[in-house]
Amino acid sequence: MIFVIILLLAYLIGSIPSGLWIGKAFYKKDIRNFGSGNLGATNTFRVLGFKAGSIVTAMDILKGTAATLLPLAFDYSSPWLLGGVIAVVGHMFPIFAGFRGGKAVATSAGVVLGYEPLLFILVVLVFLITLYFSKYVSLSSIVASIFAIFYSLFTSDIPFMIVIGVLALFVIIRHRTNIDRIRKKTEPKIKWMG
């Protein structure tokens, strides 16, 4: 029964639509009606600016971390990767926002932060380096996800490998339209770095 409660709470945590709530509460905007229409951090940066985007990024990361560490609040001795995955599903299909959510990048990173902090640091570095050279957030997210897969292959933690593979697959699938736009050279580039 506690197992089910933890997974339900993980989904509800993941379902918190940070970008939607920040936009409506402080900017009187529903970010789903602007930019890409996505509820994630990237569209928040684009529509609401750096401050709101940074806050939403942090909140989305912490959703994944909180869900991964949630079992510790129930006297379990270790975090659950499954809870993190369920939070990511909640982020992509949030019950609080009509099941239209984000692209899973920040919340997936939060899962990694809760379970393997070193990989989180490396993934952020890979993301930022790729972003610096490419100026594409979507490409940087995909490259960071692929890096995480390779990192996991050098561990002996089979569940970790599987979860990283699943999370990376989520990220890649959710960015399939971005991949198509990159090929057509119509994907927007960031203008604030380098």
- What are 45-80's pLDDT values in tens digits? 889 998 999 999 999 999 999 999 998 888 887 778
Report CA 98 to chain centroid distance, whole Å.
18
Q: How many CA atoms lie within 13 A of 85 on its CB side?
A: 15
Residue 39 placed within a domain = yes
Round the CA-based radius of gyration of the chain to a whole number and report it. 16
Residue 166 placed within a domain = yes
Amino acid 36: pLDDT:
81
Tell whether the model's pLDDT for residue 192 goes beyond 80: no
**How far is the C-alpha of 20 from the C-alpha of 166, rounded, in Å?**
26
Over residues 7-36, mean pLDDT? 94
Residue 194 placed within a domain = no
Over residues 162-185, mean pLDDT? 94
Q: Provide the number of structural domains found in the chain.
A: 1
Residue 179 placed within a domain = yes
Tell whether the model's pLDDT for residue 193 goes beyond 70: no
Looking at residue 181, its amino acid is: R
Residue 38 to residues 64, 109, 159, Cα–Cα distance (Å)? 18, 18, 30
> Do 119 and 151 contact (CB within 8 A), yes or no?
yes
Residue-range definition of the domain harbouring residue 38: 2-184
**How far is the C-alpha of 35 from the C-alpha of 10, rounded, in Å?**
29
Tell whether the model's pLDDT for residue 108 goes beyond 80: yes
